[in-house]
Chain A
Amino acid sequence: MIVLAVMVLVPICWLLLTSFQDPATQQLTFDNYRSAFTHSYLLDPIVNSFKMAFAVGLIAVGVGTPLAWLVSRTDMPGRRLLRPLILAGFVTPSFLGANAWIFLAAPNSGMVNNWIRDLFQVDHPVFNIYGLGGCIFVIALYSIPYTFSFVSATLELMSSELEDAATTLGSGTFRTTFSITLPLALPAILAGFVLSFLEAIELFGPPAFLMIPARQQVMTTQLYLFFSEFPPQIEVAAAYAMPLLLVTVTLLWVQRRLLGRRRFVTVSGKGGVRRRMALGRWRWPFAVLAFIPPFLSVLLPYFALLVVSLQRVWGKGVFSPGNLGLYWYKWAIFDNPTTRNAIEHSLEYSAAAATLSVVVATLVAYLVVRRLVLFAPALGFVAMAPFVVPGIVLAIGFLAAYSRPPLLLYGTPFILIAAYATRFLPIAYSNGQSILQGINIDLENAARTLGAGRLRSMWEITLPLLRRGILSGWLLVLIPALRELSASVFLFTPKTHVITTVIFDFSDAGNYEAVSTMGILMMLITFVIVIAAYRLMGRDLAARSSYA
């Protein structure tokens, strides 16, 4: 319980308190809010943030919905390949995508700009990824998967009979699609919009990489600037973070209501037949269109990252002698202590955070699901609370709470570990809750009637049954923690560099070969861990024989 308080309650309380504190005298004051929301140069970022979030939400929904429909309900060629490609966009961190797009579409050096220049003999760059527009483009690319997976899940559960009912009443194919199919998918579409909106407004990476060089700011980059100035204005930053917190809390509440009320109505076509719609001669044109988003979000960026990371000097060309090779990989893994340490730190901190998160989450979930203590629902609420706190805001809370006695964590690895564990606690908690609910309480009670105490029953019966679920929860925390940027940037010190902060620094310094190498390494590490874990679990399954 104390751990839970340290992780969640103390930082949030300090965040609130700090926002009302005078930096010098520690007295309560509204000055921070006044200085945060009266200067026009501080209001522009807020406007930018909302513009960006709306644009991203609209694009994500506008592209994700038809994609979902094409993959789930039509006979478009290549639809089986499209799904994993789109989901590959899901696992790619958007700050990595942002860097890849710098290689592709920076005004002077961007590869796409160069290709066009060479092909069409134009003398000015066609694309410029820097600025608000480029940032919207990149974030939207990586938000499409939300809408796509929500909508396709809904469409796949929806029976064709619902559409047939309209068709038998004389409605044409496209009319049916627009008046029956899409409205039924509306809650999913809205959920996709809300999540994309939130993602865009909370993200720190892409705006930092793409907008700061263009001297444009959004709320998250402005928060960062409060800290990079000297002296850091932590109190003003805390006040400035409040609208961000307010937006996320409100939107997630709205989304919960939307999903909660409509979900069961929509997904009532259980057992119905689902037929695919024949696209006829539009099959191939649609297929080509549908492959554009994953091409832009996955294929092209990874190609760019690979090409840049494999060259000793990007710009000399792939064919220049001695330029192509694994120079930077050797450098990152063996020669450079900073990157080597960062990789080790990332692994250590993420593993520690995942362990901490899963232990706390499982205990809380156990208390809540088995109703062992009176205040259990409150505990569950606290465990879910970080879900509404953007990473950057959480980081400010941690800074406010733990860069002073009694618990001086700033500068140690523990502040990063605690921040990761807290940020992803809701994932671990909801995972733990759902697996615990799946375990019949009779299994524990049976052990107790046979003479085992509560602890022994938990140790011998509940825990072994939870093992697979706990491992998957551990992975669900480990993977996002490995690529966490927005809180890390505030909490790291040169001694506690992690992969993401190293990438951030290299990008700042223009060392793009190192950026892409570290990015590729980060993705490789993630995949190796996931595959190894599934192997382990698979063997466990085979040995124990499956049990539903």
Chain B
Amino acid sequence: MSGIHIAQLRKVYGDTIALHDIDLEVENGEVMALLGPSGCGKTTTLQLLAGFLRPDAGEIRVADRVVSTARSVVPPERRNMSLIFQSYAIWPHKTVRENVAFGLQVRSVARGEITRRVDRALATVRLDRLADRYPAELSGGQQQRVALARAMVVEPDILLLDEPLSNLDANLREEMRFEVRRLHDETGITMVYVTHDQAEAMVTADRIAVMNLGRIEQVATPYEVYERPTTQFVAAFIGRTNTLTGKVVSKGVVELDGLGVKVRAQDETGCASGEEVAVCIRPHQVLFERPANGANEIRGRVARSSYLGESRDYQVDIAAGQPRVRVTAPPALYVEVGQETTLFLPIEHCRVVIRS
């Protein structure tokens, strides 16, 4: 069992707080993505997990073993976690085989056993024919595979990945996402995966922890963070969204700033009436025609339209102080720029989120 329990973890650099007392549970065998913009604290979290940094408060437990507290840190070499680095960190002076064998040599595995396991690991990542090459002779994708093989051959309890695909070109990145997921499905290993790319997180992860400014905003499945975001940041960071600001009138009812219109929306925030919140809706869920179910109605004027082939994008002014509402409509639906129109916001797609 190697679940990870992070409690009240804090890290401070000088006078900036990199992590604000975060809590996170990663279950055994789960792939957890830490997703967020740069500077959000995701890499700091990973470095703390790996044991390269000492927390200023809080603790990290793996299974029932405390590995990091402010007072003592189990060094990286005694955690049995493997880390895939953004730079791959393949040793240039060792061949592919020597790179992969290193962790087993450190563990004093018998020589025959090392050869057998290295061969198997290289075959898994389809590098068996390049075993005697030096890293400088490999492509980026191949180096990435060496890093995977090197990390997995020691059969770690936990695999940590730090933006592992960000140095690859777009095609290869897509391919490697599935490769990483396949690796997990074959081994069932617990993984923590740091990325700033939401598509990468959604393909590889069972759950996503969205981070911003040293805090975890939401931890949920890919489906949930997209469909049921709890904060304005999560809604905006995962896919495109419209956020209209307003005040809670009662549960599920928000009065929009500058319009005086009350809209009804899904509300799981538990915010009391009078609190400043935001209402989110995805562009493709905003309609120009009245739907069968109930919908909020807002008057506006079309400011811009662009034809994108598969769809038409509109930007609609609704009120001073509110951002333009973006609408993704079918290409056949045409509204003149400058025209007054009514937007329909289906109640089941409007969500109240905490303003951030």
Name the A residues within 8 Å of B76 (CB-CB).
445, 448-449
A544 to B83, CA, bound (A): 26
A442 to B143, CA, bound (A): 14
The segment from B23-31, B116-124, B133-141, B207-215 found at the interface with A is B133-141
B82's nearest neighbour on chain A, judged by CB, is A449
Interface string of A438-456 (1 = CB under 8 A from B): 0010110111111111101
| Most chain B CB inside 10 Å of its own CB: which residue of A448, A460, A465, A548 | A448
Determine whether the beta carbon of A445 is less than 8 Å from that of B83: yes
Out of A448, A456, A464, A547, name the residue touching B135 (CB < 8 Å).
A547
Name the A residues within 8 Å of B150 (CB-CB).
446, 450
Determine whether the beta carbon of B134 is less than 8 Å from that of A544: yes
Evaluate whether A544 and B89 lie within 8 angstroms (CB atoms) in the complex, with A445-B52, A449-B82 already known: no
A342 to B223, CA, bound (A): 81
Name the A residues within 8 Å of B160 (CB-CB).
449
Determine whether the beta carbon of A452 is less than 8 Å from that of B102: yes
A548 to B86, CA, bound (A): 18
Determine whether the beta carbon of B80 is less than 8 Å from that of A451: yes
Name the B residues within 8 Å of A442 (CB-CB).
85-89
Which residues 447-475 of A have a CB within 8 angstroms of B? Answer: 447-454, 456, 460-461, 464-465
Asked if B280 CB lies within 8 Å of chain A CBs, one says no
Determine whether the beta carbon of B75 is less than 8 Å from that of A448: yes
Which residues 110-160 of A have a CB within 8 angstroms of B? Answer: none
Determine whether the beta carbon of B77 is less than 8 Å from that of A453: yes
Min CB–CB distance A451 → chain B (angstroms):
4
Name the B residues within 8 Å of A443 (CB-CB).
89, 91
Min CB–CB distance B15 → chain A (angstroms):
18
A465 to B87, CA, bound (A): 16
Name the A residues within 8 Å of B78 (CB-CB).
451
Name the A residues within 8 Å of B89 (CB-CB).
440, 442-443, 445-446
A449 to B158, CA, bound (A): 11
Min CB–CB distance A425 → chain B (angstroms):
27
Min CB–CB distance A393 → chain B (angstroms):
40
Asked if B201 CB lies within 8 Å of chain A CBs, one says no
Name the A residues within 8 Å of B83 (CB-CB).
445-446, 449
Name the A residues within 8 Å of B82 (CB-CB).
449-450
Min CB–CB distance A374 → chain B (angstroms):
14
Asked if B3 CB lies within 8 Å of chain A CBs, one says no
A450 to B91, CA, bound (A): 13
Name the B residues within 8 Å of A445 (CB-CB).
50, 52, 76, 83, 85, 89
Min CB–CB distance B356 → chain A (angstroms):
33
A464 to B154, CA, bound (A): 23
Name the A residues within 8 Å of B52 (CB-CB).
445, 448
B99's nearest neighbour on chain A, judged by CB, is A446
Asked if A38 CB lies within 8 Å of chain B CBs, one says no
A225 to B89, CA, bound (A): 58
Determine whether the beta carbon of B91 is less than 8 Å from that of A461: yes
Which residues 147-169 of B have a CB within 8 angstroms of A? Answer: 150-151, 154, 160
Asked if B65 CB lies within 8 Å of chain A CBs, one says no
Asked if B93 CB lies within 8 Å of chain A CBs, one says yes
Asked if B106 CB lies within 8 Å of chain A CBs, one says yes
Out of B50, B86, B91, name the residue touching A449 (CB < 8 Å).
B50
Interface string of B44-81 (1 = CB under 8 A from A): 00000010100000000000000000000001111111
A440 to B86, CA, bound (A): 11
Asked if A25 CB lies within 8 Å of chain B CBs, one says no
Which residues 16-52 of A have a CB within 8 angstroms of B? Answer: none
A544 to B50, CA, bound (A): 31
Asked if B188 CB lies within 8 Å of chain A CBs, one says no
Which residues 100-141 of B have a CB within 8 angstroms of A? Answer: 102-103, 106-107, 134-137
Asked if A546 CB lies within 8 Å of chain B CBs, one says yes
Asked if B274 CB lies within 8 Å of chain A CBs, one says no
Name the A residues within 8 Å of B106 (CB-CB).
447, 450-452, 456
A221 to B75, CA, bound (A): 57
Min CB–CB distance A231 → chain B (angstroms):
57
Min CB–CB distance A468 → chain B (angstroms):
10
Evaluate whether A450 and B93 lie within 8 angstroms (CB atoms) in the complex, with A456-B106, A547-B135, A547-B136 already known: no
Asked if B92 CB lies within 8 Å of chain A CBs, one says yes
Determine whether the beta carbon of A452 is less than 8 Å from that of B136: no
Determine whether the beta carbon of A450 is less than 8 Å from that of B154: yes
Which residues 52-102 of A have a CB within 8 angstroms of B? Answer: none
Name the A residues within 8 Å of B88 (CB-CB).
442
Min CB–CB distance A541 → chain B (angstroms):
11
Min CB–CB distance B108 → chain A (angstroms):
10
Name the B residues within 8 Å of A460 (CB-CB).
102
A440 to B76, CA, bound (A): 17
Determine whether the beta carbon of B103 is less than 8 Å from that of A464: no
A447 to B99, CA, bound (A): 10
Evaluate whether A544 and B107 lie within 8 angstroms (CB atoms) in the complex, with A449-B83, A453-B77 already known: no
Asked if A545 CB lies within 8 Å of chain B CBs, one says yes
A456 to B102, CA, bound (A): 11
A468's nearest neighbour on chain B, judged by CB, is B93
Evaluate whether A451 and B107 lie within 8 angstroms (CB atoms) in the complex, with A442-B85, A460-B102, A545-B137 already known: yes
A545's nearest neighbour on chain B, judged by CB, is B134
Evaluate whether A453 and B136 lie within 8 angstroms (CB atoms) in the complex, with A446-B85, A446-B89, A447-B102 already known: no
Out of A440, A448, A544, A547, name the residue touching B77 (CB < 8 Å).
A448
A514 to B160, CA, bound (A): 69
B80's nearest neighbour on chain A, judged by CB, is A451
Determine whether the beta carbon of B92 is less than 8 Å from that of A547: yes
Name the A residues within 8 Å of B134 (CB-CB).
544-545, 547
Name the B residues within 8 Å of A440 (CB-CB).
87, 89
| Most chain A CB inside 10 Å of its own CB: which residue of B77, B79, B83, B88 | B77
A255 to B136, CA, bound (A): 40
B154's nearest neighbour on chain A, judged by CB, is A450
Determine whether the beta carbon of A449 is less than 8 Å from that of B81: yes
A544 to B107, CA, bound (A): 26
Name the B residues within 8 Å of A456 (CB-CB).
106
Using a CB–CB cutoff of 8 Å, the interface residues on chain A facing chain B are 440, 442-443, 445-454, 456, 460-461, 464-465, 544-548
28 A-B pairs, CB-CB below 8 angstroms?
A442-B86, A442-B87, A445-B52, A447-B102, A448-B52, A448-B75, A448-B76, A448-B77, A449-B50, A449-B79, A450-B82, A450-B102, A450-B106, A450-B151, A450-B154, A451-B77, A451-B78, A451-B107, A451-B154, A452-B77, A452-B106, A453-B75, A454-B75, A461-B91, A465-B92, A544-B134, A546-B136, A547-B93
Using a CB–CB cutoff of 8 Å, the interface residues on chain B facing chain A are 50, 52, 75-83, 85-89, 91-93, 102-103, 106-107, 134-137, 150-151, 154, 160
Q: Report, nearest first, the 7 A-B pairs whose CB atoms are least far apart.
A: A450-B103, A442-B89, A547-B92, A446-B89, A448-B76, A442-B85, A449-B83
